[in-house]
Structure 1
């Protein structure tokens, strides 16, 4: 099986996780990125083999306002810090994926004035992105922009990363991605290209862009919403669609990330455990957002500082975590271990076999006729999964 089919990612927002100031401090490098090395054994013990890093490049504030794609943000450190993290991760069998922001750049990016032909303009002025005046869009109709993106992607692939999460991929023409992907794969045929896509024609996007995967937001929404509303019809409908997507490509699945309210805030720790158990019994390439496995809480808002709560600092080491998260952590370990024992689940065919308000059952069939049966019961807050005589049981406390 390739990397995508056995990858389980631990997603981290580095600026927040390392305690870097999001606004201010742009001086000499501060070697915060090395703090993540203290968490690599924890990642392995959790059952993950991938580290999906949020923005690490020089930026103005939150990382998605890039000013230099070829330089590590000095608030995180420098090239040596990055190389050491990648090497230390590799020693533990952990692959690293980077977050590539190639739809827009910060208004302060040197290209805005030195290469205005690379920037989209409206009425003679750089075009802001989705109402964010601090961000300006790249002109993806200019072949030189594709050249830049290929240069950036291959530069960091040569430094040892395994792939790219492509920020707001939905806002970039699929033909642009198709061209870039072909050129990057010419040198790195095993690269993983994951596009951020919120809604729309998932299969069509994959076909037209030739990216490997995209963010399965439909499934994310249905998992938490069905539990909150005690309406498993919603999840059943989403699973029917997920089955069709998974037959076409390997969706990136999750119950939390850096852009949404924490799952434990939405569902409480018991509900968050049920959501995780569901996640790891479904086809796809799953990820865990750092701290979700410990019951971290935080609400995403539309205020100026609206992301801060969901992007908090980690303690210095795993030993400094609160013991209050231990129960949920064990739930994640058990669910991931079940997935590890049955890696065929990543590409299994999925069929809903029973649906009701508070009960849901589904069957998974592997390429070699392996089978798994999963039953979810909201009345008892439980999930039971059986695969080839092996069992996963989750019961809310």
Structure 2
């Protein structure tokens, strides 16, 4: 037995309340170390029969990586309290792994002090993520580059720069809502639309005003209303980690230094605030500067960091949150640089959002493992780079299939299911290389990326233009103008993604949490839910490959792409091809 591999923590990703009656419990062990694992559990106060009333249930070995097994069980504690330990069975011997030590198991002599404890499932501690989120298909729009009838610069010119305003606007987006509805989109995530200097608008000047280049507040209200009429939700980008250099609060600090009433609204290290060269507009001449006299996003003086513990800052920014929910009926906030915003202020954001409208969604921009933010009190979800990263690496041939499966299974094992089902899944964004360029502008390879994303638990996102073959390298090249000329659009790719959206809506099995991997030679897995079984085979190779279907899976399947029915025992795939098959069981 490898005791060093044993790991469990109460009230963590290893033991959490899935809903108001259900606990999910996971144990990590060394790979293939035990014949079976059972959960011993009961209510710590249930002694009505002169002994502790306990239950013993077998856990399932749900995930396996190169080093570890992850055992899982879902239980419903009778009175919402639970003390528990793990019974490890191997070679006719049983051990009890508890909160304090590992001992030989003696069911007649239980040390109740050596039990893990989930004291109580308090419903107010649950995430309460709005029910609509997990079924949403998102579409991310960079407004200046999406659509306008009268562009200010030649539409589609290259290269593009972040200081260029092309004139994409709200009325243009309204005009294209039927296009998005036809594709199957049910949620739009906008990069910032409040008044700011740059095209990207992450340097906010006025949080209460739509940037004039996009239109007016009234235009935005019309957009929300018309989007809702198409069953499309609206999520805004809230830049609450930092403001723009031209924000009135910061300009007051520059002008009045120590006497400014806003001096504590930012992190000022010393006065005067400005210790760098200004341009002819009295703005920072350089984009990135070390040793500034105030804290910023990265090293850019254009984005001073808010002190969200300051009362004036709190009043201002929380007022913004409430204003756009209450007056414009938006459905969600995506919080920029959320991992650099204090946990305390994120809790404030969630409270005021939910108090204003209980169905408001709170999404965070976290690039790393995000469990501290997903405990139910802060974010509902994060941009799921945790899943995008291994997919990118595998599709780019930077890691092999075995390593891909390891990373994905680790993600599945250690991400709470009530967070996973609401994840904002993506394969590209305004901060990354576009997926088409990442995969050397090979459409067949891009299809594999979209396919895997749509087969993952969570809400898929399409970065504008990805559906018609818009390509681009790193920022700012990934922010090119949308392609509207149908002669230049990849309509075959559009129809493929539209088909995936339709299939995901029709078959709930697409949204199941687990991929049951079948091979280390070719990416093949099954997914099962509600009497539906998917068999998926993906050839991420420039060469033809054949997959031998395991005996227990040899059956008649419907091909969901070409609508043909056949019996499969071997599947031969050309380079970068796939099979998406379904078997619907009848009771």
Aligned CA distance change for structure 1 residues 50 and 208 (closer, same or farther; 3 Å): closer
Alignment partners' CA distance in 2, 1:170 and 1:390? 44
SS at match of 1:121: coil
More moved, 210-219 vs 228-237: 228-237
Residue 16 in structure 1 maps to residue 117 in structure 2: no
Match of 1:49 in 2: 186
Superposition deviation, residue 381 in structure 1: 8.1
Deviation at 1:208, TM superposition (A): 6.7
The offset of 1:232, in angstroms, is 2.3
Cα-Cα RMSD: 2.8
Distance verdict in 2 for CA 1:369–1:341, change over 3 Å: same
Pick the structure with greater CA Rg. 2
Cα distance in 2, alignment partners of residues 383 and 333 from structure 1: 28
Alignment of 1:35-74 (within 5 A): 35-61=172-198, 62-74=200-212
Q: Deviations over 1:68-114 (max 9, x none)?
A: 00000011111122112112211111111111100001111111144
Task: Give the equivalent residue in structure 2 for 1:378.
Answer: 540
Q: Does 1:187 align with 2:352?
A: no
Q: Of the candidates 219, 222, 225, which is equivalent to residue 84 of structure 1? A: 222
**Match for 1:339 among 468, 493, 504?**
504
Q: Which residue, out of 503, 523, 534, partners 1:360?
A: 523
Change (3 A) 1:369 1:172: farther
Aligned to 2:503, what secondary structure does the other structure show?
Answer: helix
Q: 1:219 to 1:322 in 2, by over 3 A?
A: farther
Equivalent residue number for residue 128 of structure 1:
296
Matched, 1:328 2:493: yes
2:46 counterpart residue number = none
Q: Is 1:6 aligned to residue 170 of structure 2?
A: no
1:265 aligns with 2:434: no
Cα drift, residue 391 of structure 1: 4.1
Unaligned residue ranges in structure 2 (runs of 5+): 1-129, 154-161, 253-261, 272-292, 548-552, 563-573, 578-587
Q: TM-score, normalised by structure 1?
A: 0.87
CA contact (8 A) 1:382 1:393 kept: no
The offset of 1:142, in angstroms, is 1.9
Whether 1:287 aligns to 2:466 is no
Aligned to 2:264: 117
Q: 3-state DSSP class of the match of 2:482?
A: coil
Deviation at 1:143, TM superposition (A): 3.9
CA contact (8 A) 1:334 1:392 kept: no
SS in 2 for 1:132: coil
> Do 1:255 and 1:263's aligned partners in 2 also have CA atoms closer than 8 Å?
yes
Report if the CA contact (8 A) 2:143-2:168 is conserved. Answer: no
Give a deviation string over 1:312-332, Cα, whole Å, max 9, x none: 2225xx4x2334511211221
Once the two structures are TM-superposed, the CA of residue 15 in structure 1 deviates from its matched residue by 2.0
Higher relative contact order (CA 8 A, sep 6+): 1
Equivalent-residue separation in structure 1 for 2:448 and 2:544 (angstroms):
7
* Deviation at residue 46 of structure 1 after TM alignment: 1.3
Number of residues of Structure 1 aligned to a counterpart in Structure 2:
379
| 259 and 31 in structure 1: CA distance in 2 versus 1, 3 angstrom threshold | closer
Shift of 1:151: 1.1
Higher helix share: 1
Please say if residues 468 and 493 of structure 2, whose CA atoms lie closer than 8 Å, have aligned partners that are also in contact.
yes
What is the CA distance between 1:31 and its match in structure 2?
Answer: 8.2
Aligned mate of 1:350, from 514, 521, 541: 514
C-alpha deviation, 1:38, in angstroms: 2.4
Q: Equivalents in 1 of 2:218, 2:210: separation in Å? A: 9
Please, what TM-score do these two structures have when normalized by structure 2? 0.60
Within the candidate set 162, 168, 180, 2:331 is matched to 162
- In 1: Cα distance, 2:425 partner to 2:503 partner: 16
State the SS of the aligned residue for 1:178. Answer: helix
> Is the CA contact 2:203–2:303 (under 8 Å) kept in the aligned structure 1?
yes
2:145–2:168 CA contact under 8 A, matched in 1: no
**3-state SS in 2 of match to 1:135:** coil
Counterparts of 1:138 and 1:174, CA distance in 2: 14
